[in-house]
């Protein structure tokens, strides 16, 4: 079987692994990893019990930074069965969608600011067997994505302006998480940017299902296991704090 076929035939199992993982969970963003040894970084995350990784694709146009694209992801797919949560911070995701599907991406996140009318693109992502998520930047109101909520598998609330790792968490976006969680108890809600143990606690209490963590996992001492354990403690505190509120952490994606 060719690499492309194998990457697609493995998708149901990779999505099942995502569904089977206990939410809320952490998906490390590779943006802050050591790109000279990505394979070893992936192996280390696997040993530490990670189920899925977050891939940040940047085009130097929608965001003021460049990262990597589908050919690079296709090579990583040969190395790992991690579920790929792929964040397209690019101006024209429809143009490149097929490449990311063939590369073995599993969840595909597009930015509402790049695609103000995403109905057709969401349908294309799902028809390809992937899950579709819409991201919204901190200044973007929930009203921008509300018309599409019933069509989506997930929503990504950005807690920094996208483009760079290591930025400060914008706590004001937690209001969006609370509103979404209250109105859509089963919606898969992700948050991305500035997540450390203390902000993970706040995000979980507000009702997120998943946290994207870059610099909070790939810290300079290289002890990712310790970083993940500290994040797990933050998640635990957030669950305790969120108990009794109307919100839940979310346990399944909207199908
Ligand atoms: C920001 C990216 C994030 C980023 C998170 O543009 O979308 O996924 O890698 O990095 P930290 O956790 O360091 O804010
Ligand atoms: Zn991201």
The structure tokens listed for 140 are 């973007």
Cα-Cα-Cα-Cα torsion 241, 141, 65, 114, nearest 10 degrees, comes to: 130
Q: What was the pLDDT predicted at 231?
A: 98
Residues 6+ apart with CB under 8 A from 225: 47, 48
- Choosing from 34, 56, 92, 170, which is the catalytic residue? 56
Q: Treating both helix axes as pointing N-terminal to C-terminal, what angle do 224-242 and 197-206 enclose, rounded to 10 degrees?
A: 30
* Average pLDDT estimate for 70-93: 98
Count of domains observed in the chain: 1
Residue 243 has pLDDT above 90, yes or no: no
Residue 251 has pLDDT above 60, yes or no: no
The pLDDT confidence band at residue 88, using thresholds 50, 70 and 90, is: very high
The phi and psi torsions of 250 (rounded to 5 degrees) equal: 85, 135
Q: Which of 200, 226, 229 is nearest to 212 (CA)?
A: 200
56 is catalytic: yes
> Which of 128-132, 219-223, 243-247 reaches the highest mean pLDDT?
128-132
Strand partners for 109: 87, 133
* Average pLDDT estimate for 17-29: 98
Q: Is the dihedral of CA 54, 59, 62, 63 positive or negative?
A: positive
Q: What is the pLDDT of residues 137-191, one digit of tens each?
A: 999 999 999 999 999 999 999 999 999 999 999 999 999 999 999 999 999 999 9
* Average pLDDT estimate for 45-52: 97
SS3 66: strand
* Cβ-contact 121, 110 below 8 angstroms: yes
Q: Which of 80, 78, 79, 98 is nearest to 88 (CA)?
A: 98
Domain that holds residue 171: 2-254
**CA 251 – ligand 2 centroid, Å:** 21
Q: What was the pLDDT predicted at 255?
A: 24
92 is catalytic: no
Domain of residue 140, CATH code:
3.20.20.70
* Cβ-contact 178, 207 below 8 angstroms: yes
pTM exceeds 0.85: yes
Residue 245 has pLDDT above 90, yes or no: no
Q: What was the pLDDT predicted at 244?
A: 55
Strand partners for 53: 84
**CA 170 – ligand 2 centroid, Å:** 15
Residue 247 has pLDDT above 50, yes or no: no
Q: What is the pLDDT of residues 176-225, one digit of tens each?
A: 999 999 999 999 999 999 999 999 999 999 999 999 999 999 999 999 99
Task: Write out residues with Cβ below 6 Å of ligand 1.
Answer: 29, 31-32, 54, 56, 87, 160, 162-167, 192-195, 212-216
Residue 89 has pLDDT above 50, yes or no: yes
* Cβ-contact 130, 107 below 8 angstroms: yes
**CA 174 – ligand 1 centroid, Å:** 17
Residue 12 has pLDDT above 50, yes or no: yes
Q: What was the pLDDT predicted at 203?
A: 98
- Choosing from 59, 153, 170, 192, which is the catalytic residue? 192
Q: Is the dihedral of CA 224, 226, 232, 234 positive or negative?
A: negative
The pLDDT confidence band at residue 31, using thresholds 50, 70 and 90, is: very high
Better-predicted residue by pLDDT, 52 or 244: 52
């Amino acid at each position: 079987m060719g690499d492309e076929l194998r990457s697609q035939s493995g998708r149901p199992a990779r999505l099942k692994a995502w569904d089977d993982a206990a939410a809320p969970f952490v998906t490390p963003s590779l943006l802050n990893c050591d790109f000279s040894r990505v394979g070893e970084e992936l192996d280390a995350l696997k040993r530490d019990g990670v189920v899925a990784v977050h891939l940040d694709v940047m085009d130097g146009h929608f965001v003021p930074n460049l990262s990597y694209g589908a050919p690079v992801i296709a090579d990583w797919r040969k190395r790992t069965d991690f579920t790929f949560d792929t964040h397209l911070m690019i101006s024209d995701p429809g143009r490149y969608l097929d490449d990311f599907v063939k590369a073995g991406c599993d969840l595909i996140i597009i930015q509402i600011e790049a695609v103000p009318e995403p109905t057709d693109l969401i349908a294309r992502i799902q028809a390809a067997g992937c899950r579709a998520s819409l991201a919204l930047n901190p200044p973007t109101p929930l009203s921008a994505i509300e018309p599409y909520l019933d069509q989506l598998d997930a929503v990504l609330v950005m807690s920094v302006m996208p483009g760079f790792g290591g930025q400060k968490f914008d706590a004001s976006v937690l209001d969006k998480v609370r509103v979404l969680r209250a109105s859509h108890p089963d919606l898969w809600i992700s948050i991305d940017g500035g997540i450390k143990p203390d902000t993970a606690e706040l995000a979980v209490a507000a009702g997120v299902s998943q946290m994207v963590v870059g610099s909070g996992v790939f810290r300079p001492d290289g002890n990712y296991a310790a970083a993940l354990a500290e994040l797990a403690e933050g998640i635990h505190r957030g669950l305790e704090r969120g108990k009794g509120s109307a919100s839940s952490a979310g346990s399944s994606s909207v199908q």
